[in-house]
Amino acid sequence: MSRKFLQATTRWLTSGFALILVCAGAQAFAQTAYPNKPIRLIVPFTPGGVTDTSGRLIAEQLSRRIGQQIIVENKPGASGNIGSALVASSEPDGYTLVLGFDGTMVINPHIFESVPFDTIKDFAPIGKIGETILVLVAYPKFEAQTLQEIIALSKQPGKTVNFGSSGVGSPQHVGMELLNQRTGSRLVHIPYKGGGQAMIDVQGGNIPLVYTAVAGAYPHIKTGRLNAVAVSSKERASSLPDVPTFIESGIPDFVVSGWVGLFAPSKTPRPVIAYLNRELNAVLETPEVKAKLDTLGIVSSPGTPEQFASEIKADFDRYGIVVKAAGIKAD
């Protein structure tokens, strides 16, 4: 028997064995028929807020598509850290997911003394649900009404220009500190326990500015009780087409928006992540879901897990620099 014949036979047997292993693995995955039982979606906040509502909407629509119930469980505490940590330490089998938003995932690790998870290492991003457009609004009788006027006023000796946000270390707080660092403005943060009281105070003239989500400010802008100064998204908000962006207002490349998305524990099988991403994107493309997210001030943003992971890492690094420079610490 020739050497060439033996070598050819060995190659054939080796490749055939490898093919058998691949087929066996695929068959094993197919036999598990993921998902074959209900899925838990942990929302690390109290019920009723925009984040919780968006999570429930996606859970309902995904349940219809995949043929298994997605059960929403609220696990609030420590600005989302408790519920997120629960998922980070869960079995990576695709049956326990978490609704993550930028405040918890890319800001908390920098403002808390310690957090019980590592955003980059402990989670596998499934996909981004959408982005929340943020707007800077002003009391209509405030002496500065454009972004450049506000920045200039804050730099004047003896002048104090305050802005309100939903709390210390919130995306809105960090976003405005980024503006201070980029422009040399000296806007002073006034933290609120949520955005509701801040909206009341700016309408009454108790504070001149609030940086908040478009959804909450929109009704007051339309009635003239607030002046919309600028939105910090890359493009103008469809609901506020006459309001310029921060970029159009003279701050190059200034883009700050909130986001919300789905995450699984790290080491969740790639086929499971790919399956959930595909189904999530299908849901996000439907006119019904787009419209419902829009009412929450969220712009539907389908994409790949890799794209979402890249954005998370970029935000994690960017906000880390801002938080350190501003000396922001959780209450």
Amino acid at 82: I
Same domain, 42 and 127: yes
Looking at residue 28, its pLDDT comes to 44
Same domain, 140 and 178: yes
* CA dist., res. 261 & res. 246, Å (int): 25
Same domain, 61 and 143: no
Looking at residue 48, its pLDDT comes to 86
| 9 occurs within a structural domain | no
Q: Which DSSP string do the residues of 266-308 spell out, in sequence order?
A: TT--HHHHHHHHHHHHHHHTSHHHHHHHHHTTEEE----HHHH
Looking at residue 185, its pLDDT comes to 97
Does residue 327 register a pLDDT over 50?
yes
| 331 occurs within a structural domain | no
Same domain, 115 and 141: no
Same domain, 141 and 115: no
Mean pLDDT in residue range 279-298: 94
| 218 occurs within a structural domain | yes
Same domain, 114 and 180: no
pLDDT confidence tier of residue 123, bands split at 50, 70 and 90: very high
| 10 occurs within a structural domain | no
Question: What CATH number did the domain enclosing 189 receive?
Answer: 3.40.190.10
Question: What CATH number did the domain enclosing 107 receive?
Answer: 3.40.190.150
**First CA to last CA across the chain, in angstroms?**
80
Mean pLDDT in residue range 63-75: 96
Looking at residue 20, its pLDDT comes to 43
Looking at residue 50, its pLDDT comes to 86
Does residue 19 register a pLDDT over 70?
no
| 112 occurs within a structural domain | yes
Mean pLDDT in residue range 113-142: 96
Looking at residue 13, its pLDDT comes to 41
Q: Kindly give the interhelix angle for 270-284 and 287-295, rounded to the nearest 10 degrees.
A: 80
Looking at residue 112, its pLDDT comes to 95
Same domain, 124 and 138: no
Same domain, 114 and 156: no
| 111 occurs within a structural domain | yes
Amino acid at 200: I
pLDDT tens, residue by residue, 178-234: 999 999 999 999 999 877 889 999 999 999 999 999 988 999 999 999 999 999 999
Using DSSP's 3-state secondary structure scheme, residue 38 falls into: coil
| 27 occurs within a structural domain | no
Burial of 200 (0-12, 13-18, 19+ CB in 10 A): middle
pTM, two decimals, is: 0.85
User: Which residues 6+ apart lie within 8 Å of 41 measured at CB?
Assistant: 55, 59, 70, 71, 72, 73, 97, 98, 99, 262
pLDDT tens, residue by residue, 23-36: 444 444 444 689 99
- Rg of the chain (C-alpha set): 24
Looking at residue 84, its pLDDT comes to 97
- Provide φ and ψ at 237, rounded to 5°: -75, 135
Q: What residue numbers bound the domain in which 210 lies? A: 133-231
With b for 16 or more beta-carbon neighbours within 10 A and e for fewer, the 142-157 pattern comes to bebeebeebbebbeee
pLDDT confidence tier of residue 71, bands split at 50, 70 and 90: very high
> What is the DSSP pairing of strand 39-43 with strand 187-191?
unpaired
- Of 19-28, 57-66, 314-323, the range with the lowest mean pLDDT is 19-28
Same domain, 214 and 278: no
Mean pLDDT in residue range 222-251: 95
| 249 occurs within a structural domain | no
pLDDT tens, residue by residue, 137-157: 999 999 999 999 999 999 999
pLDDT confidence tier of residue 310, bands split at 50, 70 and 90: very high
- Both tokens assigned to 55: 């999570």
For the chain, the domain total comes to: 2
Please say which residue of 212, 231, 250 terminates a domain.
231
Same domain, 263 and 123: yes
Same domain, 47 and 193: no
Looking at residue 196, its pLDDT comes to 84
Same domain, 160 and 199: yes
Looking at residue 130, its pLDDT comes to 96
Does residue 108 register a pLDDT over 90?
yes
